[in-house]
């Protein structure tokens, strides 16, 4: 049980970190778009934030799936 608690805590921390990073990148994209009240509609393939945001989105989904293994 102790090992599961450690892994669960690590998974929770990873999800939180990925959520925070995604939020920061999302805010940068909103700022670039000029609106904080609309979804970001960006496909600028020259923008490094676009790719970072997409990578973090994938990493977040994977981290959340790992955390969901501990759901009751």
Tens digits of residue pLDDT in 16-48: 999 999 999 999 989 988 888 888 887 777 888
> Which pLDDT does position 22 carry in this prediction?
95
DSSP-derived 3-state class of residue 52: helix
> Which pLDDT does position 63 carry in this prediction?
93
Return d(Cα 29, Cα 33) in angstroms, integer.
6
pLDDT at 64 over 80: yes
Return d(Cα 46, Cα 31) in angstroms, integer.
17
Chain position carrying tokens 């000029």: 34
Chain position carrying tokens 């599961």: 4
Sorting pLDDT into bands at 50, 70 and 90, what band is 57? Answer: very high
Sorting pLDDT into bands at 50, 70 and 90, what band is 72? Answer: low
Chain position carrying tokens 């955390």: 67
């Amino acid at each position: 049980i102790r090992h599961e608690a450690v892994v669960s805590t690590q998974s929770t921390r990873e999800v939180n970190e990925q959520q925070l990073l995604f939020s920061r990148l999302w805010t940068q994209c909103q700022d670039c778009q000029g609106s904080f009240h609309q979804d970001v509609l960006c496909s600028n393939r020259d923008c490094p934030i676009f790719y970072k945001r997409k990578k973090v989105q994938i990493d977040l989904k994977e981290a959340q799936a790992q955390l969901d293994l501990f759901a009751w």
